[in-house]
Amino acid sequence: SQQGEEDPQALSIQEGENATMNCSYKTSINNLQWYRQNSGRGLVHLILIRSNEREKHSGRLRVTLDTSKKSSSLLITASRAADTASYFCATDGNTPLVFGKGTRLSVIA
């Protein structure tokens, strides 16, 4: 069964706008990761946040984690057409990485 649940399922924005995706999960975790998948390609790791961290930045990415609410968010600032992809959260508990169903982001130039 899939642990993470991303919201929204699909998101369409204009280039230059910010994109926010949310992930909710059910059981305790060691860390939470975000991955990007371009159409027809494999997944690429974006960022990992540990259960004792609340916020992490990497370039235009900002990830937050709220373990009390079992939720995480991924913010992409100043989006570009090249950011068009599916984004997945993945949780690492006492099992191998479990992925959500993903958010499909479309950035319109």
Partner 1 sequence: EAGVAQSPRYKIIEKRQSVAFWCNPISGHATLYWYQQILGQGPKLLIQFQNNGVVDDSQLPKDRFSAERLKGVDSTLKIQPAKLEDSAVYLCASSPRGASNTGELFFGEGSRLTVL
Residues lying near partner 1 in the complex (CB under 8 A) are found at 2, 4, 30-31, 33, 40-45, 48, 88, 92, 95-102
CA distances (Å), origin 48, targets 31, 58, 59, 100, 109: 7, 10, 13, 15, 29
For partner 1, the closer CB: 2 or 67: 2
Number of H helices and E strands in the chain, helices first, is: 0, 11
| Residue 65 vs 98, nearer CB to partner 1 | 98
CB of 26 to partner 1, least distance (A): 15
Minimum distance from residue 86 beta carbon to partner 1 (Å): 9
Structure tokens at 14: 């204009």
Measured CA to CA in angstroms, residue 65 lies from 10, 14, 58 at distances of: 21, 26, 15
Q: Which is nearer to partner 1, 43 or 75 (CB)?
A: 43
Least Å distance between CB 61 and partner 1?
A: 14
